[in-house]
Amino acid sequence: MKIHSLLSVTLLISSFSMQSCQVKKDQQAEQRVLRDDALLQENDSLLTKIQKQTFQYFWEGAEPITGLARERIHMDDVYPQDDKNVITTGGSGFGLMSMVVGMERGFIGKGEGEERLHRVLDYLTRIPRFEGAWAHWYHGNVGEVKAFSEKDNGGDIVETAFLAQGLLVVREYFKNGNDSQREIARKADSLWRGINWKHYTNGQNVLFWHWSPVHQFGMNHAIQGYDECLITYVLAASSPTHAIDTAVYNQGWARNGKIKTSIQKYGIPTEVKHNAAEGAVGPLFWAHYSFLGLDPRGLKDRYVSYEDAVVNHARIHVAYSQENPQGFKGYGPDKGWGWTASYSINGYDAHHPDNDKSVISPTAALSSIAYTPKESIQFAKYLFQGLGDKVWGKYGFYDAYSETADWYPQRYLAIDQGPIVVMIENYRTALIWDLFMGAPEIRLGLKKLGFQSPHLK
């Protein structure tokens, strides 16, 4: 009896402790939510200002014939590569999602948006595709492929994935609308269904980035994690017409589990092995491009938690700004932070903590707002209050700057502006996340690959 009574008391105490612990965790979670809500409400007009101005890159600044996103816009109208009218496939996908944000927030009228989308989708139907995939670049004014490099003159399945992400968001947004809106959804769906993802495996258990009729798989660039390309595998597995097998994901992207790592930076686990030098973390666009539509919250597969991977990626960049090992001007968690691929002092560079040229790219911190809301908002305030018109222009914050080098180019890139609009909206309302994750085939594809997500319950 004594043993039984003691055991009962022990179990009762243990149960009470567990309940108390859970209550404490729930209270802490509630406090975090309340703090985030307060932060959001306090900065509502600031975030709208950034979104509205940046959205204009894809609206007023769009290539005039096609309505698609221009690869770059230089405010001095000087284009050394004579590429003013070149449109970008991936950046146009970001632009499609930005247009949904623009319509939802009233930056443009629904009718205006619909008219533009019809033009965009019709153009995407007409231009050359390669087993359903688009090239990286096109001459917008004539509809011809602009080679990205000598052998890269055909399909780019990663850029195509970024575009397809936008197509699905547009489809989901309009699929239950009026006749014009349902026709937009039908056009977007047709383009999505036409992509032959399986072709880009070349018969192997991995996706290859490029294919062209001239050079075939001559680029021979296998897509493996971890970088910006997770969405390519998710879409390829989700295709209702040309889906890849799960083995392609497991062996290709996840490297049979070798994508998982125990590496830490500043005491923060990276979770995934970045495609960088051993122990290094990559540019922050790796935490953005795949997750404009793909909701990382609670997203995990048998190998890693992608929520932890992207949040920790941003936190590591914040920690690096605090350390500032090279003593660059204007760095800090409440000042300048965030490194990614962007314009650089000597051209273009993929900046990250192990490749720091004193150049800050505003998209890095701003597009991380869902991961680091306090630090991202503080960064935006620092830009407005500390640097002002040096970094802010017609289409939002310019692509990059360096206080150390006193370098403030008035230039923009589509692939950097788009994530700002979309990720701020995901932080505010989860609009784009909810639309993309609501696509039936995406849910099936994620389940097929063994993912867990609150959207799949």
Each residue's pLDDT tens digit, 330-363? 999 999 999 999 999 999 999 999 999 999 999 9
Question: How many domains does the chain contain in total?
Answer: 1
Q: Is the pLDDT of residue 3 over 50?
A: no
Work out the pLDDT band at 14, boundaries 50, 70, 90.
very low
- Residue 442 maps to a domain: yes
Q: pLDDT tens-digit profile of 189-210?
A: 999 999 999 999 999 999 999 9
**Mean pLDDT in residue range 364-368:** 99
Sign of CA dihedral 56, 57, 63, 68: negative
- Residue 366 maps to a domain: yes
Task: Between 150 and 49, name the one with better pLDDT.
Answer: 49
* pLDDT value at residue 339: 98
Do 412 and 57 form a contact (C-beta atoms < 8 A)?
Answer: yes
* pLDDT value at residue 35: 55
Question: Per DSSP, what are the bridge partners of residue 260?
Answer: 272
- The angle subtended at Cα 367 by Cα 365 and Cα 373, nearest 5°, is 65
Work out the pLDDT band at 457, boundaries 50, 70, 90.
confident
Weakest mean pLDDT among 29-38, 139-148, 235-244: 29-38
Give the structural domain span for 386. 50-456
Q: Is the pLDDT of residue 157 over 50?
A: yes
- Residue 12 maps to a domain: no
Confidence (pTM): 0.92
Kind of pairing between the strands at 207-208 and 210-211 = unpaired
- Residue 6 maps to a domain: no
Weakest mean pLDDT among 31-35, 251-255, 452-456: 31-35
Q: Is the pLDDT of residue 300 over 60?
A: yes
Q: pLDDT tens-digit profile of 49-101?
A: 999 999 999 999 999 999 999 999 999 999 999 999 999 999 999 999 999 99
State the average pLDDT for the chain. 93
Residue 332 burial class via C-beta count within 10 angstroms: exposed 0-12, middle 13-18, buried 19 and up:
middle
- Residue 111 maps to a domain: yes
Residue position matching structure tokens 């149960």: 15
Which stretch of DSSP H or E encloses residue 222?
strand 222-223
Q: pLDDT tens-digit profile of 18-41?
A: 444 444 444 444 444 455 788 999
**Distances in Å between the alpha carbon of 177 and those of 101, 113, 170, 439?**
16, 14, 12, 16
Do 432 and 425 form a contact (C-beta atoms < 8 A)?
Answer: yes
Separation CA 399–CA 392 (nearest Å): 10
- Residue 231 maps to a domain: yes
Do 98 and 422 form a contact (C-beta atoms < 8 A)?
Answer: yes
**Mean pLDDT in residue range 370-394:** 98
Q: pLDDT tens-digit profile of 391-437?
A: 999 999 999 999 999 999 999 999 999 999 999 999 999 999 999 99
Do 103 and 113 form a contact (C-beta atoms < 8 A)?
Answer: yes
Percent of the chain exceeding pLDDT 90 equals 89
CATH value at residue 325? 1.50.10.140
Separation CA 335–CA 315 (nearest Å): 14
* pLDDT value at residue 18: 43
The tokens describing 201, both together, are 């495996």
Work out the pLDDT band at 149, boundaries 50, 70, 90.
confident
| H, E, C per residue of 234-302 | HHHHHCCCCCCCHHHHHHHHCHHHCCECCCEECCEECCECCCCCCCCCCCHHHHCHHHCCCCCCCCECC
Q: Is the pLDDT of residue 153 over 60?
A: yes
Greatest extent of the chain over all pairs of C-alpha atoms, in Å: 90
- Residue 359 maps to a domain: yes
Q: How many residues does the chain have?
A: 457
